[in-house]
Amino acid sequence: MTVDSKLVGEIAHLARLDLDETSVANYAREMAGVLALARQMEDVDTDAVEPMAHPLHAVQPLRADEVTEIDQRDEFQAIAPAVDDGLYLVPQVIE
């Protein structure tokens, strides 16, 4: 696929961008360079490369899954307008 000024103009139109002719030519050159790099990267042999989940081998520190709040359900339901068997009752809004 070749990137020319016409293609950049169509993309700019779809993106609702108002580009002047100088910008269109610059974008066409830059987009062609990006596509050339992508084609060059397709030729790299990656058969012996192990896939990674993250390029920096970052590890998400996790905290212990412990309850830190006290159970206040009874206090909250005591001030609720309507409760039945531990569930809040609300008026029907859809018929």
pLDDT, one tens digit per residue, over 62-80 is: 999 999 999 999 999 999 9
Identify which of 57, 7, 67 has the alpha carbon closest to the alpha carbon of residue 31.
Answer: 7
**C-beta separation of 58 from 52 below 8 A:** no
Mean pLDDT, residues 13-28: 91
Task: Return the number of other C-beta atoms located less than 10 Å from residue 28's C-beta.
Answer: 19
pLDDT, one tens digit per residue, over 44-66 is: 999 998 888 777 777 788 999 99
**C-beta separation of 9 from 24 below 8 A:** yes
Q: Where are the domains of the chain?
A: 5-42
